[in-house]
Amino acid sequence: MKILGMNGDNAVAYAMKQINPDVVAGYPITPQTIAIEKFSEYVADGEVDTEFVAVESEHSAMSACIGASASGGRVMTSTASAGLAFMWEMLYVAASTRLPIVMNVMNRALSAPINIHCDHSDSMGARDSGWIQIYGENVQEGYDNIIQAVKIAESAGLPVMPCFDGFIVSHAVERVEALDDEKVKNFIGIYKSEHPLLDVENPVTYGPFDMYDYYMEHKKQEHEAMKAALKIVKDVGKEYEKISGRSYDTLSEHRLDDAELAVIALGSTAGTAREAVDEMRKKGINAGSLKLRLFRPFPYEDIRNALKNVKAIAVMDRCDSFGAFGGPMFSEIRSALYKTSDAEVVNYIYGLGGRDVTTNHIKKVISDLNNISTTGKVKEYVQYLGVR
């Protein structure tokens, strides 16, 4: 075990160095540029055997990753915001052809107006593209999730998108407990593609024209693979705990055992929510928080179990779903709890474009929940938090 001080981007690059993928195709975009730049230094210095492909766009980056993965390689990349949006067409191709590509996403707002800071509009826009999505709270989780993502992707036969908050995690320097190189190597194992294009003795075709006579069957297979991935994420988390001492599941609970109120958040805000919960507990308000780590596949049964005793729930969405009834996580949570819980569920859109969220914001949310629990009345189901 090595104790290192590094920011999120460098932690991702360091994990990638230890993984030593066959191919990385990348294109710079803030706030993940440092990750690709640092990894390219490892390539230039001969510290990895990776073929680094410097492409002309993010669309090309994912296209190159698809070709390399279909050919039988272990493949990784990194992007953010408009870069992820520019890959849009190819995200679906990667997932539908069941290629275990791992792509770090440093979450950043989508334009317009142009903004380089964090919200989740980029990855949430890709939530139905067929990629497994894992969200990390801090730099340590950023490092750990990348390593686990490789094993999850190759076990599930699906691409994985580990997501971390731009600047908040990507540029914050924290203490990281890094595994020894040999432990990482043994954990992920040697990758052997099941149906590589370059196996001339067993020819295969990827992404052929698929009419109505088989298209639906292939989509159902993709659906089943995503369902099966839920257990894989759990199993890989348990296996990773054995070598790291750090436990990972689909979600983590904070003081929910006896809570009547619950705040749900993704990413770095989960830490702020825990602090707010502890402060409100001192005031006699019985609150708890839930950090959702896995968003795809959506762990609805785990969420039901975690929230079974609460009376009011606030879902924190760091993006909006314009024209919908609330943000994307709010919609999924309400759907998961339908007919299984009597709790009122309300939504707070917050932190867009990097707008700061503090413990005072979350304490205000908890106070709102307390009023809902006491009066049984909801003034607004969906509201913006921290807007001037």
- Tell me, yes or no, if the pTM score tops 0.95: yes
> Where are the domains positioned within the chain?
2-244, 251-384
Helix boundaries (H) for the chain: 8-19, 33-44, 58-70, 81-86, 88-96, 121-125, 139-156, 181-188, 215-244, 269-282, 300-306, 328-337, 359-375
Distance CA 225, CA 195 (A): 17
2-244 and 251-384 agree in CATH topology: yes
Cα–Cα distance for residue pair 89/228, rounded to 1 Å: 24
Decide if 285 contacts 260 (C-beta within 8 A): no
Pick the CATH number of 2-244 from 3.40.50.970, 3.10.20.30, 2.20.25.90, 3.20.20.450: 3.40.50.970
CB 61 within 8 A of CB 101: no
pLDDT in tens, 57-79: 999 999 999 999 999 999 999 99
Residues 6+ apart with CB under 8 A from 13: 34, 35, 36, 38, 39, 42
Q: What pLDDT, in 10s, does the model give residues 11-60?
A: 999 999 999 999 999 999 999 999 999 999 999 999 999 999 999 999 99
Q: Which amino acid is at 175?
A: R
- Mean pLDDT over each residue of the chain, to the nearest integer: 97
Q: What number is the average pLDDT over the span 85-106?
A: 98
Nearest in space to 135 (alpha carbons), one of 100, 164, 114: 164
Q: What is the pLDDT of residue 142?
A: 97
251-384 — its CATH code? 3.40.50.920
213-228 pLDDT, tens digit per residue, is: 999 999 999 999 999 9
CB of 305 closer than 8 Å to CB of 256: no
Find how far residue 116's CA is from the centre of its chain. Answer: 19
